[in-house]
Structure 1
């Protein structure tokens, strides 16, 4: 018996994939304006941002919400 496909838009997508797509779409400068966290504005990098986002749930939720909101604008 097959499971129905998940309706969660984040299903099967890692935080790293989310962050990489957002950075490619917006850039760190614009991300820092949209979501005011220092990992996007001071010495930004994917690695340091992932470290912070994995430890800080409120920030990760904001990044995930922005990803879902921006999802229609992404080209795979």
Structure 2
């Protein structure tokens, strides 16, 4: 029996965790520079961003890709 999430690097990581980590790392302004979407530029908050990202698959894909890239960068700098 195989684990269905074994090949998914985001398995078990919530969107809220992803957005919170990215905001802590980049700040809202830096995050808006990385991904040009209004939920990061105009009156940003975790909750408003989550609401938008849950309804907008292309934006969520970009956020998840940035999270993976950022985590990889953090790990490289750590070790």
**TM-score by structure 1 length?**
0.88
Alignment partner of 1:18 is 2:15: no
Unpaired runs of 5+ residues, structure 2, are none
What is the match of residue 8 of structure 2?
8
Number of positions where the alignment pairs a residue of Structure 1 with one of Structure 2: 74
Runs of 4+ in 1 over 6 A off after TM superposition: none
* Cα distance, 1:56 vs structure 2: 0.3
Alignment partner of 1:27 is 2:27: yes
What is the match of residue 55 of structure 2?
55
Q: Tell me the distance in 1 between the aligned counterparts of 2:55 and 2:8.
A: 22
What is the match of residue 71 of structure 1?
71
Unpaired runs of 5+ residues, structure 1, are none
**TM-score by structure 2 length?**
0.85
- Please give the secondary structure, in 2, of the residue aligned with 1:48: helix
What RMSD in Å do the two structures reach over aligned CA positions? 1.7
